[in-house]
C-alpha cells in the first residue's frame, strides 16, 4: 500500500509541476476516477471532487515553493510535497477499506439471519428486506440499496451483481452466488447459506486470533515509527550545529528525506507482515 501511495505522491507532484499540460489532465482524471469510486463506496457525494483535487494540488505547490525558497530546502520540500499529495488519497483508501472489512465482519451474522428467515418460509426479496431492516450499519445500507432498487423495478439478479462490484467482498460474492443459483435452479438455499456462514465465521475467528497475538508487535511498530522525530529533537538540544546541517545542506536534506521515507516504509511493511491474509 505504501509503495502505491509513494508513487501516487510522486506522480501527483509531477502533475503539479507540469500544470496545464496534457499529462497533468490525464493524471487528475486518474485520481478523480479512483477517489470517486472510493467515496461512492463510502456513500459520499462527489459533485465538486475535481475542484478539490485542483485546490489540494495548489496547496501542495505552495508548500513546495515555500520550503524551497523560504527555507532553502528543495529536497525536503519535494519529499514533503510527495507525502502531502499522497495523504488524502491514502486516508480515503484506508477509510474505504475499513468499511469493507466491517461489512465482511457483519456478513456472517447477516447470513445466519437470512438462513433463519428462509426456514421461516419468507421469500428471497422478503429475506433481503428483513436484513435491510435488522442488520447494523454499514451492511444495512447495502441491503437497503439492493431491496430499494428491486422495488423500483430493477431485476434482483442485476442488483446483486451490482452489489458484488460495489462491495468487492469475497464473502458477499459467495453469498450472492448462492442466491442466484437457488433462484435459477432451486435447492435448499438455507443449507447452502449456513455452510457459507460457518466458513466465514471460522475465518473471522482465525483473523481475530491473529490480531490478538500480534497486538503487542503492532504497538511496538508504531512506537518505533514515532521514535525518530523525538530522537532528532533530542540531538538538536545536544548538538544544534550538527543537527542544523541536516536541514541547511543538500546532503543533509537527502539523508533526512531518505530516513523519513525508510521510516514510513518500515512501519507499513511491519503492518503488512503482522496482518496476513487468511
Query: What is the reported pLDDT for 120?
Result: 85
pLDDT at 2 over 70: no
pLDDT (tens digit, 9 = 90+) per residue, 86-144?
778 888 888 888 888 888 888 888 888 888 888 888 888 888 889 889 888 888 988 99
Domain boundaries, the chain: 101-199, 214-278
Q: What is the pLDDT of residues 187-235, one digit of tens each?
A: 677 788 888 888 888 887 887 888 888 888 888 888 888 898 888 888 8
| Distance of alpha carbon 53 from alpha carbon 269, whole angstroms | 28
Model pLDDT for residues 21-36, shown as the tens digit of each residue:
567 777 777 777 777 7
Assign 8 a pLDDT band (cuts: 50, 70, 90): very low
- In CATH, what is the architecture of 101-199? Up-down Bundle (1.20)
Is the separation of the CB atoms in 164 and 135 below 8 Å?
no
pLDDT at residue 10 in the model: 46
pLDDT tens digit string along 147-188?
999 889 888 889 988 888 888 888 888 888 888 887 777 667
pLDDT of 193 reads 82
* Bigger pLDDT: 46 vs 128: 128
pTM of the model: 0.69
Q: What pLDDT, on a 0 to 100 scale, did the predictor assign at position 7?
A: 40
pLDDT for residue 79: 78
Amino acid at each position: 500500500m505504501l509503495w502505491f501511495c509513494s508513487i501516487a505522491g510522486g506522480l501527483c507532484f509531477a502533475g503539479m509541476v507540469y500544470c496545464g499540460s496534457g499529462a497533468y489532465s490525464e493524471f487528475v482524471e486518474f485520481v478523480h476516477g479512483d477517489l470517486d469510486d472510493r467515496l461512492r463506496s463510502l456513500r459520499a457525494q462527489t459533485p465538486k471532487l475535481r475542484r478539490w483535487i485542483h485546490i489540494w494540488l495548489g496547496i501542495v505547490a505552495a508548500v513546495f515553493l515555500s520550503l524551497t525558497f523560504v527555507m532553502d530546502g528543495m529536497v525536503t520540500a519535494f519529499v514533503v510535497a510527495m507525502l502531502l499529495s499522497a495523504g488524502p488519497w491514502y486516508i480515503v483508501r484506508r477509510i474505504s477499506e475499513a468499511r469493507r472489512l466491517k461489512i465482511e465482519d457483519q456478513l456472517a451474522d447477516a447470513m445466519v439471519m437470512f438462513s433463519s428467515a428462509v426456514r421461516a418460509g419468507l421469500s428471497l426479496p422478503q429475506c433481503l428486506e428483513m436484513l435491510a431492516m435488522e442488520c447494523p450499519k454499514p451492511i444495512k445500507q447495502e441491503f437497503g440499496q439492493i431491496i430499494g432498487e428491486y422495488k423500483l423495478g430493477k431485476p434482483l439478479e442485476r442488483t446483486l451483481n451490482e452489489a458484488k462490484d460495489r462491495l468487492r467482498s469475497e464473502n458477499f460474492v459467495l453469498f450472492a452466488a448462492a442466491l442466484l443459483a437457488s433462484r435459477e435452479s432451486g435447492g435448499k438455499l438455507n443449507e447452502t447459506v449456513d455452510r457459507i456462514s460457518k466458513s466465514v465465521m471460522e475465518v473471522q475467528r482465525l483473523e481475530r486470533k491473529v490480531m490478538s497475538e500480534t497486538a503487542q508487535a503492532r504497538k511496538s511498530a508504531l512506537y518505533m515509527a514515532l521514535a525518530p522525530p523525538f530522537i532528532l529533537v533530542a540531538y538538536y538540544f545536544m548538538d544544534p550545529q550538527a543537527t542544523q546541517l541536516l536541514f541547511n545542506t543538500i546532503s543533509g536534506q537527502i539523508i533526512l528525506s531518505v530516513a523519513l521515507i525508510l521510516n514510513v516504509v518500515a512501519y507499513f511493511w511491519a503492518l503488512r507482515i503482522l496482518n496476513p491474509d487468511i
